[in-house]
Amino acid sequence: MKPILEVLTWVTFAVAMIVSPVAWFRTVRAKTRIEYWKNIALFAAPILLVFLFANGAGLMPEAPTPPPTPPSAQEVFGRMPTDQLILLAAAAILWIGGGNVLFQMHNRRLGKKWWQALNPLDPPFKDFNTREWLILGGLLVGSMGLGALAISLGHVA
């Protein structure tokens, strides 16, 4: 069974090397939502099949030791002063929330659909007007200022 899976791995890999880049290019040029999702599936399916067959053939060795466990959120944030937590949360809310509102307004102004913003060959900044650049700069300065103030308030004891 393993030799069959190895052959399937290499055949699927060869197919994925051709199909996936073409599907990605067609994804970023999609005009409809159905076309977009169809090409995303054609992009991802061959890649996932390569990993599935390689794992079944034993070509993906398991890690010899378990990875170290990351600290819990309580261990990271539990020792911070309340003021520091509030300022960090405010910085995150300002940057993420404000950025999402800014890009939603930008896409609405241009008449773009939500999925067209995912096109990596069509960056949104090229169509920004002066007002949007000023808002983005304000979001950057505001969130970095809140983050710097939070860091200066204290450190983890």
User: How confident is the model over 12-37, as a mean pLDDT?
Assistant: 90
pLDDT value at position 116?
Answer: 77
CB 9 within 8 A of CB 59: yes
Tokens of 155: 């450190």
Report the candidate in 97, 93, 78 with the shortest Cα–Cα distance to residue 157: 78
Alpha carbons within 13 angstroms on the beta-carbon side of residue 20 total: 14
pLDDT in tens, 83-136: 999 999 999 999 999 999 998 999 899 998 877 777 777 777 788 999 999 999
Report the candidate in 154, 128, 151, 144 with the shortest Cα–Cα distance to residue 94: 144
pLDDT value at position 78?
Answer: 84
Statement: residue 157 has pLDDT above 60: no
Q: Cα-Cα-Cα-Cα dihedral of 36, 39, 40, 44, to 10°?
A: 180
User: How confident is the model over 12-41, as a mean pLDDT?
Assistant: 90
* pTM attached to this predicted model: 0.55
pLDDT value at position 3?
Answer: 87
Statement: residue 156 has pLDDT above 60: no
Q: What one-character-per-residue DSSP string does 63-127 give? A: PSSPPPPPPPHHHHHTTS-HHHHHHHHHHHIIIIIHHHHHHHHHHHHHT--GGGGG-TTS-GGGG
pLDDT value at position 132?
Answer: 95
pLDDT value at position 155?
Answer: 60
Q: What is the distance in angstroms between the CA of the first residue and the CA of the last residue of the chain?
A: 56
pLDDT value at position 96?
Answer: 97
pLDDT value at position 66?
Answer: 82
Spatial distance between the Cα atoms of 89 and 78, rounded to a whole number of angstroms: 14
The proportion of the chain whose per-residue pLDDT surpasses 90, expressed as a percent, equals 52
